[in-house]
Structure 1
Amino acid sequence: MSDGPLTKARIHTIEGGLISVECLFNPKEYQIQRSNNWGPADNSTKNASDLTFSGSSGAKLSLQLFFDTYLRSTGESNTVKDVREYTDKLWRMMNIQDTLRDPKTQKGRPPRVLFSWGKNWLFNAVITTMQQQYTLFTPSGMPVRAMVTAEFQESLEHPSLMAGSSGSETISERLRQDASSYDGDLRQKYGR
C-alpha cells in the first residue's frame, strides 16, 4: 500500500464489443494455479513408468470481487443503484458474441478479457466460471450488495504476469507499521 491514490482493478474485453468493469473494491486476495500434464509412457518392461510431458494447461486466476452500491450512495437523496448495473457486465463477458464467429463453423464464442490492476499486474484470459451471491437488498428487493467469485483461464501466454512495473513502490513508515501490527483487512481500516 502506498500513500498515493488507490488504483482500482479492472476487467474489460479485448475483442468483440467493449465491455468494461472497474471493481468497486479491489480483491482481498487472489490465487493463481498452473498445471503441467505428465502421463505414463507406454512401457511394459519396467515396474515404474517413464513420464511423458504432454503440455501445459496455462495459468488459472481465481478471485472474489465485492460490489456494494449501498455504501457508495452519493448526494443528499441517498439514492442507491442496483448492484447488477456492475455485475451484469461480467455476465455479458461470458456470453457468446456474434462478432466473434468462426468463419468456417459459424460458431460464436465469448470474448477474451484482460484483468488488470494498475500498471503492475495483467492477466489475459477468458472467464470460465462465475458465481454471484446477493447479500443486501433495499426494502423493495433491489440487490445493492453482491459477492462475485470468478475463475479466469489464461488465453495468451505472457513471460511474466507483471506489467511494466519497476517491481517496487514507496510505502510510508506509518502504513508499514500499521500493516505489521494489524490483524484485519487494512482496506477496511483506511476505507479503501
Structure 2
Amino acid sequence: MYFFLFDLSLSGTCFSTSISSRMIVADLLKKTTLSFSECMIHVFLTHYFGSLEIFILILMDFYHSVATCKSLCYTTKMSYQVCGSLVAVAWVGSCVHSSAQIFLTLSLLFCGPNVIDHYFCDFQPLLKLTCTDTYVVNLLLVSNSEAMCIVSFVMVMFSYVIILHSLRNHSAEGIRKAFCNCISHIIVVIVFFGPYIFI
C-alpha cells in the first residue's frame, strides 16, 4: 500500500507542479505568451499526470479488493513484482491516453489570433483557435477523458460493492478492520472523481 501511496503522491505532486509552475512563471516574469510546442508539452503533462492519478487510484482499489476478499492469497497475488508491473502499466496507460489527446489536437489547423485567456493551455481553449470544424475532434477529446473517468469511477464503486458483499459473513471486528482500511480510499475517490465527472 505504501508503494501505491508513494506513486499517488508523486503523480499528484507532478500534476500540481505542471499546472502551478506555468502560472508562477507567467506571474513572475510577466511572460504571458507560450509557443505552440510549450503549449502542447503543458497539455500533455497535465493530462498525463491527471490520468496517472486515476490509474493509481484504481490500483489501490485492486489492492483493497485482494487484501479484503482474498486475504489468504494476498502475499502471493500482491508481490513486489506484481505491484511494480501494475504501476508500470499505469504509467504506460497514462502516456497512451495523453498521446491520443495530443495527436487529435495536432491534427487541427490553427489560424488567426492565437490568444488564450488562460495562464495555461488546455484543449477547449485551443479548439476555439482552429480554422476547421472541431465538432468531431471535440467529441473524441471529451469522450476519451470522460469515458476514462466514468469507467474508472464505476469500476472502483463496483469493486467496493463486491468487497461489502464478501464481508457479509465476517465478524463485526473483521468488518470494522476492512472498513477502516477502505474508508480513506473511498473518500479520496469521491473527492477526486466527483468534481471531475461534474465538470
Check whether TM > 0.5. Answer: no
Higher strand share: 1
Which protein has greater RCO, CA pairs closer than 8 Å, 6+ apart? Answer: 2
Which has the greater radius of gyration? 1
Instruction: Tell me the TM-score normalized by structure 2.
Output: 0.23
